[in-house]
Amino acid sequence: MTETVLLDLGGVLIDVDYHRTAAAFNALGFDGFEALYSKAQQDHLFDGFEVGALSPAEFRARIQGLHGGGITAEQVDACWNAMLGRIPRPRIVLLRQLRERYRLLLLSNTNAIHVPAFERIIATDNGIADFRALFDGAYYSCEIGLRKPDAAAFQHVLERHGADPARTLFIDDSIQHVIGARAAGLRAEHLDLAQEDVSALVARLGLLD
């Protein structure tokens, strides 16, 4: 039985295109940014930023140093946020439907530049001033100092709500996070975005039947 549904954000709810960020940086003369940052494996710079070990100012300075040119802090933010898309309205409806039946939680590996950026996008596109209010609990790695796929990240979230891992269904589009969740005792489903979106996965699993 499922009592809790734990969702990822990027890819599952909000559309993300990592190549757009790489293309934006490369257009400013950043040679080989895509090799430095990818969805599957990140440089320690990005990992550190995702757990709050680096401030936005420190992150921008590191990027500027790697670039070696005259890139501004504003350009760093614009390029970094270029990967962020939107949440289609049917996914907002889906969240509300899921919350009627389950404890609904969010766990995202994200950072202190992306958070205000995607919250602005959601407010503008979906008319939702408080995105986190759609969930019984929403957790960002940069705020809790823990990131997927580490077991401690999952444990932190579930313990805050007294949720049973065995009765928690986790959905993520990154297979390494799914593997980590299963190792932590959760039930986990990999969302293959080449095959379906989260609404189709939820329907296939019969979560709203």
Average pLDDT, the chain: 94
The angle formed by the CA atoms of residues 192, 177 and 107, to the nearest 5 degrees, is 100
State residue 2's pLDDT score: 97
State mean pLDDT over 66-88: 93
Most confident of 23-32, 59-68, 71-80: 71-80
State residue 36's pLDDT score: 74
Domains delineated in the chain: 4-15+87-205 (3.40.50.1000), 18-81 (1.10.150.240)
What is the per-residue pLDDT across 23-40, written as a single tens digit (0 to 9) for each?
999 999 887 787 776 554
State residue 40's pLDDT score: 45
CB count in 10 Å sphere of residue 101: 12
What is the per-residue pLDDT across 132-164, written as a single tens digit (0 to 9) for each?
999 999 999 999 999 999 999 999 999 999 999
Closest CA to 13 of 176, 157, 193: 193
State residue 38's pLDDT score: 59
Question: How far is it, in rounded angstroms, from Cα 68 to Cα 78?
Answer: 18
